[in-house]
Structure 1
Amino acid sequence: MSSQGDEISVLHVDDDPDLGDLVAVHLERISDDISVCTERSAADGLDRLSERAFDCVVSDHDMPTMDGLEFLKIVREEYGELPFILFTGKGNEGIASDAISAGVTEYLQKGVGTDQYTVLANRIERAVGERRAKTALEESERMLSTLISNLPGMVYRARNEPDWPMQFVSDGAAELVGYSSAALESGEVSWGTLIKESETERLWKTVQTCIDAGEPFEVTYRVETADGEDRWMWERGRVVDTDDDGVELLEGFITDVTAREERERELADQRAFTEKLIDSVDDVFYVVGPDGSLVRWNDTVPSVTGYTDTELASMGVDDLIADDDREKLWQVFEETIETGYGTVEAGVEAADGETLQYEFRGTRIDDERGDLYGIAGIGRDITDRKRRERALREYRTLVENVGDPMYVLDTGGRIEMVNEAMAVHLGYDRSEIVGSDPARFMPESDVEAATEHIRDVLADDERTWAVFEMRTVSADGTVRVNEDRVAPLFDGDGNFDGTVGVLRDTTERKQRERELERYETIIEAVGDPVYTLDDEGVFTYVNEAAERLTGFEPDALVGEHISTIMTGGDIDRGSELIRAMLSDPSRRNATFETDIVDQSGDNTPIEIHIALLPAPDGEFNGTAGVIRDISDRKQRERQLAEFASVVSHDLRNPLNVVKGRISVAQASGDVSHLDAAASAADRMDDLINDLLTLARQGETVGETATVDLAALAGQAWADVETGEATLEKRGTATVEADAARLRTVFENLFRNSVEHGDTSSRTGADGSMDHGPPAGDAAPITVSVGTTDDGFYVADDGAGIPPAERQNVFERGYTTSDTGTGFGLAIVIEVAQAHGWSVSVTESDAGGARFEFTTSPVS
């Protein structure tokens, strides 16, 4: 009969034991869900209620000590709305009224027959059912209220209109957006006004699309809270009803997901960063699925393999790995899946057919459920390393098979490795040699010499090895003299890591090599360019000195034709000489002058000494030559010719005067002609002195020192006949110079100003100015020496030098004076140029001559 399906426990209280038992039997028979506990008094019933819970109480009214109504009142006080049925044989309106007033659930009067028990059972089930339903509803409401109050957001009911007017808002609104539920429900604040304007249109379209499809909607959007902060909201809702106006009513839940959005954006940024980082890695990065498919790769993979991303997307590892390495690769692949990590070396076949050697290091990766996702790893190009390893094996093979003894010493100088040839050379097993001190097998002095040579090499960045003679003593006492070529070893960080050496017997071959080295050393030490040409005129050797003359590095000339640095006509002349030497067995060398064309296209006069290269078969095998720059010689020859011309011209005139005057004096007896002859002789003496001074100046200076210009000018002034002229020193400075030669400069300039600078004179040169004797009323000359920003000057207040003649005054022999030598100012410019200075002539502030020297720097 029970529709609840749950057991109903009933406490039955009746002082009649027979009736109590009868009620229990009938109720439990009528309903399988009802179980009855019977007590004989109200007091016992209260004790039983305190011990266990019952779903319903059935009580008689007339009972001793405590009747049913008193029992009911106590139950209501202590057990609230526990269903209570008054089942009494004594019934009247007064009892019923009192029972109802006391809060009885049901009032049932006992009757005759068994039907009354069916009614009682129904009343019990109905009362308990209602009680349970009410309790469940209250609990549901309580739980819902608790849930809503604890939700991190708000529950709402709203009209489906653009401003989303709220009909109900839970208490979470204040914490969510800073506005109270009442403010949102009253319309004081519209939810739609909180939504960011940029989100409004998208949000409305999304919600309406879901409503039209009859589906719930989920949206994420931004709102502005009461304090002006932007927050991200996540909302889920659906249509639940329609109001009288036909507007859909929406119910849903809104919560703050700002932190989640920020995390997602942060994760997105991190993923983007990771992607960029992976793509920036020079090594190959890959993710391979369990079936060998390419799941992920970085930008290095296309650049290395030559395949496009589209092509790679349809490829697997088998398409990239060389055939010979696939079986090995898959074996390691399976091991990596089992152990979590694996390494394998394999060839990668690029799109152009090239095979690259790679080392792959992979790690098993699982998905979020813990299932195998694939293998991720790095592939590193070891093609160069493989080449080095192969080269190392080859070197080891060479070391073991070469006939020369070889050894390696550690940083402490003990023998770390020897090859078989060394063991044979010394007459010991390798095991007896390795770990020993070298002094066991050679004199201590030779060991010290080797150590010193290594120190020298380490101290010289230009050297990588050294060669010296070393004696070895074999196991049988035999002493051998060897050439030991030693070199330092360095680790990956460039630190000294030991020594390697190669021994060679001192044989005829060694003697030839030493002889050749001596020749090579001589050639490099010659200082002049040395070369060899093959029979086609192509350079086969050029020493380093050639670069200074031609501008070409030796390596750049080797393999090039002689026409690279010589014109066709000069080549033809050289060819003629070679043919002449080939036709005359007694003539093995020749010399001729020509020009060489350097890398910039400039010509330089040279002298070439050529010789035929020896040829075992007697055929022409090419030539060797030494080139000498004769620019200076040619310049000196030109200067000598010029010098001789000047000397022959300028000395001849006064010599003719001397001869002519003496002849006239001898013939006429007039000794007055001897004065003219003496004057001409004095001029010859002056000319010879200037020529000697000019010849001694040369083009270089002697030892230089820091010279005080003002002090040196004062000394020079004292050595010149200056008459009434005065010297002014305007400021002072120091200059790096050859003091003696600079003093000559000052003396010549002072002499030029004093002798030729008075204002009544005629402008000339050294010459420079050709004047007669100073006029009686002419003011004495003032000569000044001063400094400029980049040098110094010597000036006077005389008549000066006309602009048209200033370019000529420094020429040798230039003079407009009958008594000047024309070499004074030539000496000045020679000394200036020898110091690397420049000198120019201009007008002084007083209108005289000013000679400016640019020496920069001066101090």
Structure 2
Amino acid sequence: MHDPGGAIRVLHVDDDPDLADLTATYLQRQNDRIAVETAIGADEALDRLDDGVDCIVADYEMPGCSGIELLETVRADYPDLPFILYTGKGSEEIASDAISAGVTDYLQKEGGTSQYAVLANRVVNAVEAVRSEQLLARRTRRLERLIDNLPGMVYRCRNEPDWPMETVEGEVEELTGYEADTLERGDVIWGEEILHPADREEMWERVQASIADEGTFEVNYRIRTRDGETRWMWERGRGVYEDGDLIAIEGFITDVTEREHREKRLEETTARLEALFEQSPDMINVHDAEGTIYEPNARLCEKLGYEREALIGMKVWEIDCSIDSESAAEIWARMEPGDSRRFEGEYERADGSTFPVEVHIRRIDGDDEPLYAVISRDISERRQRERDLERVREEYEELIDGMNDTVWVISTDAEFLAVNDAAVERLGYSREELLEMGPHDIDPETDPDEISALIEGMLEDGTQVFETVHETRDGERIPVEISSSPIRYRDETVILSVGRDISARKERERRLERFASIVSHDLRNPLNVAEGRLELAAEECNSEHLGHVGDAHERMNALIDSLLSLAREGELAADPAPVDVADVVESAWATVATGDAELRVAVEGTIAADRSRLSQLFENLFRNAVEHGSTTSQTESDDAVEHGAADDGTQPGDVAPGPGVTVTVGELDGGFFVADDGPGVPENERESVFETGYSTGEGIGFGLPIVEQVAEAHGWSVRLVESEGGGARFEFTGVDGR
């Protein structure tokens, strides 16, 4: 891999030979620099890496070894080889895993052939970037050898305000960005293009004065490099004389930018520390190993009521009446440089009154003696607040005990004030332990700053509802939905937080994500092959049938997108609008393999619904009724909607429905129904049919759960009862417009 513009060898890894062959065809047609070889599966790909490959393009989901696992194996031996994950299974989790494993690029498969132009462009960009980096690395190594030999530049120039250079050698280009000969020829003038404008006049005056006095000079100044960067230079030079006349200047220049920045940062840090010391809201003093205070800050003087001069020279136990000289000396003797201690004490003011403090002491040795920095904070209000909180905790617990969901009362400082019995039982901590904790201690996914922001948002906007995870004492992670609201109790604002276990819902979402994976990988790949082959066929012949095939592909893509949206996003009613129910019913019936089944439409008017989702609902119910009303054996109809997802790739002709079933769509008060006169559903199973994965056969069980979710997304209620003919009757109520 040398020439950035040379030929590119691509190894395409996929478990689908047809898709791999099609991808190779289109990539080579997009760019004649690309030569594609295919490998079916990860094992074959690994065997061919030593043959010389410029880029790997791999699917994600393959038997035996996923695309991420292949990437990790490749990275072990070929850390810089471009690797593009080209997959039909796209999710934020997969993208994150790919990035962590060192993927070069990530591209999700789409419908149509335009995706191959994008893929070819990604391949070329990735390979050219690596080749350019390799060229740059070789040049950098040569440059580093030169830099090791000379850490700056030497020069000879005329003693004129523009400092025109006669000779320059060394790291000229590294320092200035200009080549040495451009300075020597006069194409670039040091005093005009390089020396910083703000330093030119001062530089001239200082150099002339130094040469006149001592014949030599030493200066620091700024330059502007060719690319506009400002750098600091240190220069030492001397005058060159002939017959007593100054004819030139010779010297050495080196880059001291980092040193200047370091000194500036040190000055700024020192100034900030001094300001913090004096302006700190905490009380600060520095004392020696004898306990003698010699550096108090303004806050300590103010709180104790002493003048600064009076505090200097006092002993620490003269202001902290909770310790004596012996116990203090024992603490200090056990502290090594850098060690710190924390304890609570009692400070005494100049007038004899006292107040509680929290004390932090750290050993910070000086040049020739141990020193101790003490930072103290008045905790009078905290002590009073603790007493008040202890008093009201019992009152809070009386309010929230007995509720089934976990309930907490949280202070606006994000501390637990009270917890109910359900929280104690589910999290595994004692009540006393929980009251020493806060929300961030049981929520590993939300840091304290986020919790503080949530509380602030509640105080401003009211109730907040969000999902998170609670971790039990045993390390179990429980997904929960939190509803938190600010309430006013005994003249105090607190947060009442109720947590509901949503483990079952999360498991249902996981199964939906698995379904999305099946749709994305097992349906999208063959559909991409079909679309590609159709386009190639259209180039070779002209047939009226090809257009119908293309329409079918478009419909299949739309159905797949619809299912993916359902499984991954839940956006089931994105755009409700007035729709004619009878029209949608007739259209949906036409898309289902109905055989000898009969449709009766007894509904009129319009309702507010998303037409695409409503059509999906009817298609699922029609296919379910027709296939379960069939006299055909189960083995002939494994993919009935009740046993699998609608729009899952089933084509007309895949099912052989039996005769006689009649499907009726009629009106209800506040809605509509879909009924059939088939065998029906046993009463003890009618609730189960809406559960994701429920099946009486070998299907994957997504059809009727989709019906329920479409209804819920519209705000409708659905229930399954027995029809007049003894079959199934699905009733939808709460429908706007009916």
Per the normalisation by structure 2, the TM-score is 0.30
Ranked by relative contact order (alpha carbons within 8 Å, sequence separation 6 or more), the top structure is 2
Per the normalisation by structure 1, the TM-score is 0.27
| Larger Rg, first or second structure (1 or 2) | 1
